[in-house]
Amino acid sequence: MLTEIPVRDWEHCDAVPSTLSALIGVVVPGQLRKVETVFVVSDLQILGISSVKSETDEWLIASCVRCKRASPCSQHPDENTEKRLAVRLTLADGNSQCTVMLYHELLLKAAALMEVTLPEPPADSKDLRSTLRDMFRNAQWISRFTFKENDFQQSLELECRDIRSCLRLQPTVALMSPPDT
Ligand SMILES: [Zn+2]
C-alpha cells in the first residue's frame, strides 16, 4: 500500500537554513538539475491562500481513496473517492515571495499544532476558509522545502515538506475588542 511506503522524516532530517530569496534564485526556467538538499526557512508570513486549480476555486479535491491521486484515478477507476484539502499558499519573508502547494496531511498537521479544529471530514465552506485564513495570518511560520523537478515546465519548483508556526501573533481582532470587565 502506498501509504505504508516509508517516507523520509522531513521534520527531523538535516536541513540547511536558507532564505526564500536564495531558494527562488535557484529556480532557473528551462533548467533542471538535481538538488536533494532539504532547506529550512523561518519567519515566513503567509500572504494568501487560494485554490490549486486555476479554472475553479476549490480547496478540496476529490481523490482516489486508495492512492490519493486526483479522481478519476486511472489505476483504480472503481475505487471510492474522498475529499482532500489542497491549497496554494503565497509565502513571503523580508525580501521575496513565492507560492507553494500544501496538501491534506501537512494542512491538518499545521492546524493541529495551532490547536485549530477543522471540520471532519473537511468540507469546503466559508467557515473552513476563514478558519484556515485566520490560522495562517495569526502566526509566523517555519517551513522545510525541497526542490521538485517539473518535467512539463522544465523548471524546478519548491515543494513544502513541513510547515509549523514559529511565532504566534495576537489576532488583530483581540486588540480591537473592548476589554472584558
Ligand atoms: Zn488510485
Spans of all domains in the chain: 12-168
Cα-to-centroid distance, 72 and ligand 1 (Å) = 8
- Going from the Cα of 163 to the center of ligand 1, the distance in angstroms, rounded, reads 26
The domain made up of 12-168 is a member of CATH 2.102.10.10:
no
CA angle 58, 156, 88 (to 5 degrees): 20
Greatest mean pLDDT range, 16-30, 82-96, 163-177: 82-96
- Give pLDDT tens digits for 92-151: 998 899 999 999 999 999 999 999 988 878 889 999 999 999 999 999 999 999 998 887
* pTM, to two decimals: 0.83
φ/ψ bin of 115: left (φ > 0), alpha (ψ from -120 to 50), beta (otherwise):
left
Q: Answer for the pair 45, 91: CB distance below 8 angstroms, yes or no.
A: yes
- C-alpha 62 – ligand 1 centre gap (Å): 11
pLDDT of residue 1: 42
52 contacts 29 by C-beta, under 8 angstroms: no
Distance 80 CA to ligand 1 centre (A): 9
Q: State the pLDDT at residue 179.
A: 59
Of the pLDDT bands very low, low, confident and very high (cuts 50, 70, 90), residue 3 is very low
Q: How many of the other CB atoms lie within 10 Å of CB of 8?
A: 10
The pLDDT, as a whole number, for residue 177 is 55
Q: How far is the CA of 121 from the centre of ligand 1 (A)?
A: 19
Between the CA of 83 and the centroid of ligand 1 the distance, in Å, is 13
Is the Cβ–Cβ distance between 62 and 81 less than 8 Å?
yes
137 Cα–ligand 1 center, Å: 34
158 bridge partner residues: 147
Helices 126-137 and 104-113, axial angle in degrees (round to 10): 60
User: Which pLDDT does position 88 carry in this prediction?
Assistant: 95
Q: Cα of 45 to ligand 1 centre, how many Å?
A: 34
Report the distance separating Cα 18 and Cα 31, nearest Å: 21
State the number of CA atoms in the 13 A half-sphere of 10 facing the CB. Answer: 18
65 CA to centre of ligand 1 in angstroms: 7
Q: Which residue has the cell 486511472?
A: 74
